[in-house]
Amino acid sequence: SGVAICDEYVAAVARFTACPMVPEAASDAARETLVAERGGWAAVDRHDAEAVAALEQRCAAALRAITQTSAGLGCEVEPEDE
């Protein structure tokens, strides 16, 4: 995506969907949401600071949500070392 927090969200979705404790329906929903989100990201003008800031906020909110959902299922989606 070229936006660090959005890239973190993409990686978190990958870890979430790989977790064996995540029900298939939740995994499918996370993938579908990511596909829809990425479609919107493509339309954001990376030279427009306000648009990029709004995108960063959306990705941060999505990352928080998937992190919370993952924790509730006993899965870790945050990178181990950074």
pLDDT digit string (tens) for 55-71? 999 999 999 999 999 99
Q: Is 0.85 topped by the overall pTM? A: yes
Contact 77, 64 (CB under 8 A): no
Give the pLDDT score at 82: 47
Contacts of residue 78, Cβ cutoff 8 Å, sequence gap at least 6: 12, 67
Residue 45 clears pLDDT 60, i.e. is over it: yes
Task: Give the span between the Cα atoms of 79 and 58, in whole angstroms.
Answer: 20
Closest by CA position to 60, among listed 14, 8, 17, 1: 8
Contact 25, 78 (CB under 8 A): no
